[in-house]
Each structure stands twice: as C-alpha cells, then as structure tokens.
Amino acid sequence: MQREAVTVWNRCVQIIRESIPDQSFRTWFEPIVPLRLHEKELTIQVPSQFFYEWLEENYVHVLRKALDFAIGPEGQLQYSIIVDQGDERSRPLTVNVPTTKTTQSAKPDNVNADILRSPFEMKDLDSLQLDSYLNPTYTFDNFVEGDCNRLGRSAGFAVAQRPGVTSFNPLMIYGGVGLGKTHLVQAIGNHIKNTNQDKFVLYVSSEKFTNQFINAIRTDTLRDFTNFYMQVGVLIIDDIQFLAGKEKTQETFFHVFNHLHQSGKQIIMTSDRAPRDLQGLQDRLLSRFKWGLSADLQTPDLETRIAIIQKKLLSEGVYIDYSVIEYLAHSINTNVRELEGVIVSLMAQASLARRDIDLELARSVLRNIVIDVDKEVTIDSVQEAVADYFKVTIIDLKSKSRKKELVYPRQIAMFLAKEKTELSLKSIGYHFGGRDHSTVIHAIQTISDLIGNDAHARDAVEKLKAILK
Ligand code: ADP
Ligand code: MG
C-alpha cells in the first residue's frame, strides 16, 4: 500500500461518507483498499467483480465527486478486482480495469460545476440533443403496480402518452420517502423521450432548481435562467416541498409554471406530503396545483412487496428461495427503498462470504440493518427477549404446541410485537409459526385483559418493555 494512495483515498472517503447512507458506506466502501497513486490515477482494490459492477452502476457520481475533491478534475480511478481468493500457493488474481464512466463529468448531482459551465445557453434548441438529466433505469416496466400506487401510475402513464394534453396538468405525485415518487416521474420522462415525441423533457430536483436560481442571481443571468425553463416541453420537478419558505425561488417558479401551463406544456411535480399540507408555499402556487391531478403513493401491501422483491431479484439475475422472499416482505414494511437496501446488502454479504442467500443470512442482515440504522425494535428482538425472560426457546414460541407454559409467553410476545413493531397482524402471525391474524388478535386481547387484572402479567410486560427500549 502506498502512503500517497492512502492519503488520497482518505480524502475521497470524506466526500463519500457525506453523500451516502452509513449502511451503504459500510457495505460498499469500507472493504476497499487503496493500492497506489500514479500521477493522477488512483488504483483501488475491490473484493469481487460484482462489487466493481455495483460501484460503477450506483456510485459513479459519488466517486467522481470524491475524485474531483481529492485529486482534481483530471483524477482517474482504476479498479483492481480480486478474481479468486486462491489458496496459500496461488496468490489472489487481480484484474485491473479503468473506470468506464467516471471520466465523464458527473451530471445529475453536480449542480455548481454544471452551472459554471453552461449558463443556460439555448441558442439552437434541439430538443432531442439536450440533456434531460433522466436516469434511464427508471421505467414503467420495472415499476410494480399495486393498490398502493394505482392512481398515480395510471395517471402518470396517461401523461407519458399525451403530455400537456390530458387534464392531469400539473400532475402532482406525493407520498412518503422511498415510495417511488422519483421512479414514477422519471419513468414518465423516459417514456416520452423513448417514444420520440419531439419534446424537450427536463428533470430537476427542487434543490437544484433553487441552487441554479441563486447562482443566476449572483451572476446576473436570471433572464437566461427563466428563458431556459420557459422553453422546456415537459418539466419534471422533484421534491417541491424543498421550496418551502424560499419566497424568491417560488416567485420565479410561479412565472415559469404559468408560462409553461399556458403554452400547453406538461408540468410534473412530486412532494413528500399532500399539497394542502405544504406549509411555506405561497397560496397562489398551491392553488395552481389544484388545476391538475394530485395522486398519492402509499406504503405497498404484502403482495406488492413480494412482487417488488421478485422483480428486483430478477433484474439482478439472483435466485433466492421463496421462503426468504416471504420473510423479507413480512419483515420490512416501511418503504421500498429500505426493501431494496436489504436486498442489496444480502447480495453483497452473499458475494463476500461466497454463500447462498438463505433465511439465516437474511435474518442476520436484517438484524444488523435495523439495529444499526433505525434503532427499532424488531420481531427477532421481541422473541429473543421474551424467550429469555420466560426461559423458553424461540423455537418453542413458534411451535404448534398448546402447552400452557408456552402459550402464555407466546401471547405476551405477540402483544409486544404489536406494540413495539410496525408489523401487521398477518405478519406477526407469520413470524409465530404461520398463525393466522385472528390468533394474534386473540393473544393481544388476552394479554390486554390480563394486564388490567393480574400483577404478574403487568410486571412481565413492563420489564420486557424496558428491556426492549
Ligand atoms: P421517493 O422518490 O418516493 O423517495 P424513489 O422513487 O427514490 O422514492 O424509490 C426508492 C426505490 O424504490 C427506488 O430504487 C425505486 O426504483 C424503488 N421503487 C419504489 N416503488 C417501486 C415500485 N412500485 N416498483 C418497483 N420499484 C419501486
Ligand atoms: Mg425522490
């Protein structure tokens, strides 16, 4: 290991850490070893081909940003991939490949550099040549439909086919984090581009829009800025809640909005909450949103979660047993991003440890993620605590046995699972040996009654709650 390489890599790490979630950093960047620095080329060692592909696929922009910071714009990256761990005699084989994409400038996230280079010149407007800043991997094909997103998806599809013409203008997609807003609106943009409708589609985050606006003021190019946006055919603006409280930016957006809307251009927006809850946005802007359609995305139900996992695995070419898929779908019910995060960690762990993805691996990955990131109570921790407290085993809790000394702890565990986790009754039943939801309801009622009448039960529940905190 070269000292210079280590120093440069440490500088890269600073940037990477700031840009991605902790869990991703641990999975994808901690195992990297900086090997050498040759002029402006940094060589890093990664544990496998899969790893290399994953980094190139998902973190190329972050890496570019890091290289810019650590080495400068000419900085290059080379990967040294460990192909085979080998035994004592045959040393691990490494293959060196230059990065394929980091040589180009990182477009979507790099707002400032982007602005400095092109202050919105649009002399010859050729809509198909202009960069839309869309990520082509987000399509309708890989967006799983379910009750949770049916309205948004079908309105989105209608808009994608006839932008600016339907009554869904503006189209506002709202919902909590990780539920697919960005995916859906990008799918609309990609569909329009791919069906060769001669329209200039532009995707921009509200944050980027704001930064561009501020820069335009600073460099006295506000007119160029507004002109640029007024020529867009389909404007997709993500996370509009970010404009809250930014009066001047809103004012400019309002003008752009009116201009586009009047000329029959399509506007698509997303927000993390319903328009009526968007505090800090001017009323005149909010009232414009009502002209079109607002559709919300909700948390996917069990069947949709299963379908999403299956689709994701299929696209990765990874096979895992249905029991594992079911386990994941029953255990993660917050949002799709989290679901994907777990699948990725699972694949990484399996790739690093060279083993298959099975229930045991899924459990351990899930436990780490949940404990590390969310500090949430999991079904596993409930079962462990209860088993420990009553001196029974987890297998007992999940077993079919109706012995009194098992039924009672099992009911307490179900009761605590309902209270301490976000799991549905059906999912709780699943985690207790596949019992149905009415059994879980019965358990919860029994224990609630007991807490009212029986000091022992009350004491047990209190103590267990304290343990689980
Ligand atoms: P949001 O913008 O609402 O925070 P994203 O669009 O970034 O959420 O979605 C998070 C992740 O979940 C993305 O990788 C996206 O592809 C995936 N995802 C969300 N909903 C679906 C769905 N219905 N089908 C397939 N993938 C989905
Ligand atoms: Mg988003």
Domain locations in the chain as residue ranges: 2-127, 150-297, 302-373, 379-468
Instruction: Convert the pLDDT of each residue in 382-413 to its tens digit.
Output: 999 999 999 999 999 999 999 999 999 999 99
Nearest atom in ligand 1 to the alpha carbon of residue 339 is 12
Ligand 1 within 6 A of CB of 190: no
pLDDT of residue 112: 36
Q: Single out the residue of 175, 177, 173 nearest to residue 186, CA to CA.
A: 173
Query: What is the value of pTM for the model shown?
Result: 0.69
Q: Answer whether residue 417 shows pLDDT above 60.
A: yes
pLDDT tier at 295 (50, 70, 90 boundaries)? very high
Nearest atom in ligand 1 to the alpha carbon of residue 137 is 16
Q: Answer whether residue 49 shows pLDDT above 90.
A: no
CATH class of 150-297: alpha beta
Q: Answer whether residue 312 shows pLDDT above 80.
A: yes
Tokens of 355: 């083993």
Query: Which residue puts its alpha carbon closest to atom 20 of ligand 1?
Result: 180
- Neighbouring CB atoms inside 10 A of 421's CB total 22
Q: Answer whether residue 122 shows pLDDT above 90.
A: no
Q: DSSP states of 25-39 as a string?
A: IIIIITT-EEEEEET
pLDDT of residue 318: 83
Q: Answer whether residue 218 shows pLDDT above 80.
A: yes
Number of the ligand closest to the Cα of 300: 1
Ligand 1 within 6 A of CB of 177: yes
pLDDT of residue 422: 82
Q: Answer whether residue 232 shows pLDDT above 60.
A: yes
Query: Mean pLDDT of all residues in the chain?
Result: 86
Number of the ligand closest to the Cα of 241: 2
Ligand 1 within 6 A of CB of 174: no
pLDDT of residue 101: 47
Residue type, 109: D
Distance CA 70, CA 360 (A): 40
CATH class of 302-373: mainly alpha
Cβ–Cβ under 8 Å, residues 217 and 226:
no
Average pLDDT over residues 315-324: 88
Number of the ligand closest to the Cα of 206: 2
Number of the ligand closest to the Cα of 237: 2
Q: Answer whether residue 306 shows pLDDT above 90.
A: yes
Distance CA 91, CA 224 (A): 59
Average pLDDT over residues 13-18: 92
Nearest atom in ligand 1 to the alpha carbon of residue 148 is 23
Ligand 1 within 6 A of CB of 312: no
- DSSP bridge pairs for 428: none
Q: DSSP states of 320-378 as a string?
A: --HHHHHHHHHH--S-HHHHHHHHHHHHHHHHHHT----HHHHHHHHHHHIIIII----
The third-level CATH classification (topology) of the domain covering 2-127 is GMP Synthetase; Chain A, domain 3 (3.30.300)
pLDDT tier at 98 (50, 70, 90 boundaries)? low
Ligand 1 within 6 A of CB of 336: yes
Q: Single out the residue of 241, 291, 282 nearest to residue 264, CA to CA.
A: 291
379-468 maps to which CATH number?
1.10.1750.10
pLDDT tier at 315 (50, 70, 90 boundaries)? confident
Average pLDDT over residues 45-72: 84
pLDDT of residue 95: 60
Query: Which stretch, 49-53, 369-373, 459-463, has highest mean pLDDT?
Result: 459-463
Ligand 1 within 6 A of CB of 340: yes
Average pLDDT over residues 326-349: 89
Ligand 1 within 6 A of CB of 143: yes
pLDDT of residue 99: 61
pLDDT of residue 373: 45
- Burial of residue 30 (CB within 10 Å: 0-12, 13-18, 19+) is exposed
Task: Tell me how far the alpha carbon of residue 282 lies from the centroid of ligand 1, in angstroms.
Answer: 29
Q: Single out the residue of 365, 322, 333, 370 nearest to residue 346, CA to CA.
A: 365
Query: Which residue puts its alpha carbon closest to atom 14 of ligand 1?
Result: 337
Share above pLDDT 90 across residues of the chain, in percent, rounded to a whole number:
59
